[in-house]
């Protein structure tokens, strides 16, 4: 029976994916600096092995045969999603997959070494090699999938989303934000004039911050029996659903940035931990894509973590773990603080989308050859000044070197962040519509109703439909930026 062969095939691939996920997380958190070259070779070999096994021609034969068998609806969906995955994977030959893994890992390792000193000249050739490789990949994928090159890359992170729908939404949002940001900053200045901002400073040992973070993780539903929290240069959520590896970074002079980072990554972790376990080895049982993933992380960070109701519950925990008696009036202005800044991961929810849209525009130009890597710092600076009024020309560390995505070859990923923010606001509006008591529940530390809605409408759906279709099924409409815009107006408009 071909379906049974596919099931065994998916289990075997799942074992390799498990190994690659844990090795990749370890490389970013615990690996000794001298282990990089051999780790890159090991992961390149495993990636090639996975790709050869995933793309063997007999898998295509099994898929065709299974489609003719008597399958139940879930099995039919599983085979359909495996076919989509198979087509996407057979776009690329195994030797290219190995070369991509090797090139991107070495580029990422060089980025880690060069970024602290903003050494653009050292890093530039490595990024140029990654861009050239990505252009090659995009061309191969586009030919097979019948998509534009950038859409073919975005399909790997967000199945179903296309620039023809994303770009108009981003243009509308960018136009709003460029107008709204000065207005929101002015309203904030007036509030601070009446009630000056209390300094968010002190001595916050890392071990106490970690204990606070874990308490928050548990409170919002994260299962510590199947997850952990570590430290990395760039916060992320990795590992596998049964062993979620979350990281953050700490400052001992303030605690809010690390805590919000933990809440963000916890949103990712909750999604992974609540995917349907019986389908974990099939593509249909995995996370749909990165914009859905980001909608879950941003939901926890923004819709919950920056909600005043949440801090009614959270402030006593801050006092218990950090021994700091903050009042709501003292802390909320920091939770809702907006400011122009160079760094995407430190940006507030008003300015953050402008950082993402900048990258979305630039990486399309890089891919199309309208922009070359050597000209990237200047192009970055022009857009930063236009949208945020900040220059980065003499600061590449905090300009085009600040993110790990391009060094690691993840082109087409960035739009997911802002798409996720839009989706999170739309999901929150859907929840409030059927559960107007949600703020009171959160204030009491009760997250079950919120999690139940997300479990039923997002988590359990995994990859059983496209990104746009999952959102439509969950909220009753296609992506609508009006909910995010209304959210910002209500929270920051004065």
Would you say 268 is a known binding-site residue?
yes
The Cα 123–Cα 362 span in angstroms is 18
Would you say 264 is a known binding-site residue?
yes
The Cα 72–Cα 22 span in angstroms is 33
Would you say 334 is a known binding-site residue?
no
Output the DSSP codes for 279-308.
Answer: GTTSGGGS---HHHHHHHHHIIIIIITTSH
- Asked if residue 464 lies in contact with residue 284, where contact means CB atoms within 8 angstroms, the answer is yes
As given in the structure block, the two tokens for residue 97 are: 């997959």
Burial class of residue 323 in the structure, from the number of CB atoms within 10 Å of its CB (0-12 exposed, 13-18 middle, 19+ buried): exposed
The Cα 280–Cα 363 span in angstroms is 32
The one catalytic residue among 108, 137, 265, 272 = 265
The Cα 191–Cα 424 span in angstroms is 27
Q: Is the dihedral of CA 401, 402, 407, 413 positive or negative?
A: negative
272 is catalytic: no
- Asked if residue 40 lies in contact with residue 33, where contact means CB atoms within 8 angstroms, the answer is no
The Cα 405–Cα 489 span in angstroms is 31
Binding residues: 264, 268, 294
User: What positions carry a catalytic annotation?
Assistant: 265
Binding residues for Zn(2+): 264, 268, 294
């Amino acid at each position: 029976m071909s379906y049974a062969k596919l099931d065994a095939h998916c289990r075997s691939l799942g074992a390799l994916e498990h190994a690659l996920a844990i090795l990749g997380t370890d490389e970013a958190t615990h690996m000794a600096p001298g282990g990089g070259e051999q780790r890159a070779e090991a992961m390149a070999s495993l990636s090639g092995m996975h790709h050869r096994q995933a793309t063997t021609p007999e898998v295509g034969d099994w898929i065709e045969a299974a489609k003719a068998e008597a399958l139940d609806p879930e099995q039919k969906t599983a085979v359909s999603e495996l076919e989509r995955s198979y087509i996407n994977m057979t776009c690329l030959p195994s030797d290219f997959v190995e070369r991509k893994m090797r090139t991107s890992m070495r580029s990422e390792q060089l980025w880690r070494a060069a970024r602290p000193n903003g050494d653009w000249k050292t890093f530039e050739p490595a990024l140029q090699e990654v861009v050239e490789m990505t252009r090659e990949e995009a061309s191969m994928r586009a030919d097979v999938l019948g998509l534009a090159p950038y859409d073919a890359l975005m399909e790997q992170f967000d199945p179903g989303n296309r620039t023809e729908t994303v770009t108009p939404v981003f243009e509308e949002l960018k136009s709003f934000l460029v107008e709204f940001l000065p207005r929101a900053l002015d309203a904030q200045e007036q509030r601070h004039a009446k009630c000056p901002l209390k300094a968010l400073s002190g001595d916050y040992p890392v071990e106490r911050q970690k204990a606070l973070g874990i308490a928050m993780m548990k409170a919002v539903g994260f299962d510590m029996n199947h997850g952990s929290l570590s430290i990395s240069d760039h916060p992320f959520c990795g590992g596998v659903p049964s062993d979620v590896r979350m990281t953050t970074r700490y400052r001992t002079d303030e605690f809010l940035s690390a805590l919000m980072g933990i809440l963000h990554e916890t949103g990712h972790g909750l999604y992974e931990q609540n995917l349907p376990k019986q389908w974990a080895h099939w593509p249909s049982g995995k996370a749909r894509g990165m914009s859905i993933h980001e909608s879950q992380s941003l939901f926890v960070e923004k819709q919950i973590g920056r909600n005043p109701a949440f801090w009614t519950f959270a402030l006593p925990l801050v006092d218990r773990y950090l021994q700091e008696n903050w009042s709501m009036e003292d802390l909320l202005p920091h939770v809702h603080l907006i400011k122009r800044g160079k760094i995407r991961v430190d940006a507030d929810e008003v300015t953050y989308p402008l950082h993402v849209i900048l990258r979305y525009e630039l990486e399309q130009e890089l891919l199309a050859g309208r922009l070359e890597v050597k000209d990237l710092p200047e192009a970055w600076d022009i857009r930063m000044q236009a949208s945020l009024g900040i220059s980065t020309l003499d600061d590449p560390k905090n300009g085009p070197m600040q993110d790990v995505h391009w060094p690691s070859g993840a082109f087409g990923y960035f739009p997911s962040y802002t798409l996720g923010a839009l989706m999170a606001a739309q999901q929150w509006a859907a929840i409030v519509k059927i559960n107007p008591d949600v703020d009171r529940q959160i204030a009491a530390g009760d997250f079950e109703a919120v999690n139940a809605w997300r479990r039923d409408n997002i988590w359990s759906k995994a990859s059983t439909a496209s990104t746009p279709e999952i959102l439509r099924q969950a909220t009753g409409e296609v992506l609508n930026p009006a909910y995010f815009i209304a959210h910002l107006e209500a929270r920051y408009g004065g």
